[in-house]
Chain A
Amino acid sequence: MSPNPAPSLLDRLRRGEAARDLGFLVVLLAAAAWIAVPALSGDGTTLAGTQTAAVVVAVAVAAAGLNLLSGHARLISLGQGAFFAIGAYVSAYLSVDSALHPLVAIVVALVVTAAFGGLLALCTMRLRGPAFAMVTLVVAILTERVLAEWAPLGRLSGYPNTLDHGSGLMPPIEIFGTSLEPPLFAGTEATVVVAILVVAVVALVGYRNVARSPWGRSLHAIGTSEHLAAHLGVNVFGRKVAVMALASTYGALGGVFYAQVFAHLQPESFTMLLSITMILAVILGGAGTVAGPLVGAVIIVLLQRTDVLTPLVDLQRQVSDTWYLSTPGLIGVLLVLTLAFLPQGIVGGLGELAHRLPGRAAPAAAPAAAPQAAAASATASSPAPDGDDVLLAVRGVSKSFGGIKAVQAAELVVRRGTIHAVIGPNGAGKTTVANLVTGVYGIDSGEITFDGRRIDGRRTHAIVRAGVARTFQTPLLFTHASATENVLAGFPDTGRLPLVRAWLKDPGQYRRTRELQDRAAALLELVGLGGDGHVEAGSLPYGKQRALEIARALASDPRLLILDEPAAGLNTAETAELGRLMLTLRAQGLAMVVVEHHMDLVTQVSDEVTCMESGAVLAHGTAAEVLAEPAVVEAYLGVEMEETA
Chain B
Amino acid sequence: MDAVVSGIVLAGLYALVGQGLVLTFVTTRTLNFASGELLAVGGFLALGVGSWSWLPTPGKLAVVVLVGGALGAVVHRWLVLPFARGEHDSRWLLSTVGISYVLLNLFTNGEGANPQRVELTRNPGTVEVLGVGVNKQSLVIAVIAVVVTLALVAASRWTSGGVIMRAVAEDPRTVALMGISPRLVGAVAYAAATALAALAGVLWASEVGATPGLGVHVLVSAFAVAVIGGLTSFWGPLVGAVVFGVVVQVSAYELGALWGQVAGLALVIVVLVLRPEGLVGRRMEAKL
- Do A332 and B102 contact each other (CB < 8 Å), given the known contacts A134-B226, A142-B261, A322-B110? yes
Residues from chain A with a CB closer than 8 A to the CB of B110 are 322-324
A174→B277 CA distance, assembly (Å): 51
Interface 9-mer from B62-70, B83-91, B120-128: B83-91
A328 engages B104 (CB within 8 Å): yes
A73 within 8 A of B: no
B135 within 8 A of A: no
B4 within 8 A of A: no
Interface 9-mer from B50-58, B201-209, B216-224: B216-224
Residues from chain A with a CB closer than 8 A to the CB of B276 are 126-127, 131
B285 engages A123 (CB within 8 Å): no
A135 engages B102 (CB within 8 Å): no
Q: Which of B94, B100, B102 has the most CB of A within 10 A?
A: B94
Question: 1/0 per residue A1-16: CB within 8 Å of B?
Answer: 0000000000000000
- Do A139 and B91 contact each other (CB < 8 Å), given the known contacts A325-B105, A335-B97? no
Residues from chain B with a CB closer than 8 A to the CB of A283 are 94
Question: 1/0 per residue B76-99: CB within 8 Å of A?
Answer: 000100110000101101110111
A296→B269 CA distance, assembly (Å): 32
B224 engages A138 (CB within 8 Å): yes
B91 engages A127 (CB within 8 Å): no
Q: Which residue of A lies closest to B105 (CB)?
A: A329
**Chain B interface category by residue count:** 35 or more
Q: Say whether chain A's binding surface is mostly helix, strand, loop, or mixed.
A: helix
A120→B265 CA distance, assembly (Å): 11
Q: Which residue of A lies closest to B89 (CB)?
A: A343
Question: 1/0 per residue B211-231: CB within 8 Å of A?
Answer: 000001100100110110001
Rounded to whole Å, the gap between the CB of B86 and the closest CB of chain A is 12
B102 engages A325 (CB within 8 Å): yes
Rounded to whole Å, the gap between the CB of A301 and the closest CB of chain B is 17
Question: 1/0 per residue A465-508: CB within 8 Å of B?
Answer: 00000000000000000000000000000000000000000000
Q: Which residue of B lies closest to A334 (CB)?
A: B98
**When the two chains form the complex, which single residue of A127, A141, A333 contacts B102, counting CB atoms closer than 8 Å?**
A333
Residues from chain A with a CB closer than 8 A to the CB of B273 are 122-123
- Do A343 and B91 contact each other (CB < 8 Å), given the known contacts A329-B102, A329-B104, A331-B101? yes
**When the two chains form the complex, which single residue of A130, A330, A336, A435 contacts B99, counting CB atoms closer than 8 Å?**
A336
Rounded to whole Å, the gap between the CB of B100 and the closest CB of chain A is 7
A203 within 8 A of B: no
Rounded to whole Å, the gap between the CB of A153 and the closest CB of chain B is 11
A120 engages B231 (CB within 8 Å): no
Rounded to whole Å, the gap between the CB of A63 and the closest CB of chain B is 14
A467→B70 CA distance, assembly (Å): 56
A76 engages B90 (CB within 8 Å): yes
A145 within 8 A of B: yes
A129 within 8 A of B: yes
Q: Which residue of B lies closest to A343 (CB)?
A: B91
A74 engages B88 (CB within 8 Å): yes
Question: 1/0 per residue B252-281: CB within 8 Å of A?
Answer: 000000100110010011001100110000
**Chain A interface category by residue count:** 35 or more
A571→B286 CA distance, assembly (Å): 33
Residues from chain B with a CB closer than 8 A to the CB of A335 are 94-95, 97-98, 101
B101 engages A124 (CB within 8 Å): no
B31 engages A276 (CB within 8 Å): no
**When the two chains form the complex, which single residue of A322, A339, A343 contacts B109, counting CB atoms closer than 8 Å?**
A322
**When the two chains form the complex, which single residue of A131, A141, A323 contacts B106, counting CB atoms closer than 8 Å?**
A323
A149→B257 CA distance, assembly (Å): 10
A401 within 8 A of B: yes
B29 within 8 A of A: yes
Q: Which of B31, B104, B287 has the most CB of A within 10 A?
A: B287
B94 engages A137 (CB within 8 Å): no
A138→B36 CA distance, assembly (Å): 13
B102 engages A123 (CB within 8 Å): no
A362 within 8 A of B: no
B93 engages A130 (CB within 8 Å): yes
Residues from chain B with a CB closer than 8 A to the CB of A142 are 220, 261-262, 265
A-B contact sample (17 more), CB < 8 A, given A130-B30, A329-B105, A335-B95: A76-B93, A78-B97, A123-B269, A130-B90, A133-B93, A134-B223, A138-B220, A150-B258, A272-B216, A324-B106, A324-B110, A325-B102, A325-B109, A332-B101, A334-B98, A340-B82, A441-B285
* 14 A-B contact pairs sorted by A residue (CB < 8 Å): A76-B94, A126-B276, A130-B93, A134-B223, A134-B227, A138-B224, A138-B268, A150-B258, A227-B288, A276-B101, A322-B109, A328-B104, A332-B105, A339-B98
Q: Which residues of B contact A (CB under 8 A)?
A: 25, 29-31, 33, 79, 82-83, 88, 90-91, 93-95, 97-102, 104-106, 109-110, 216-217, 220, 223-224, 226-227, 231, 258, 261-262, 265, 268-269, 272-273, 276-277, 285-288
10 shortest A-B CB distances, which residue pairs? Answer: A329-B105, A332-B101, A335-B98, A332-B102, A336-B98, A332-B98, A134-B223, A323-B110, A123-B272, A328-B105
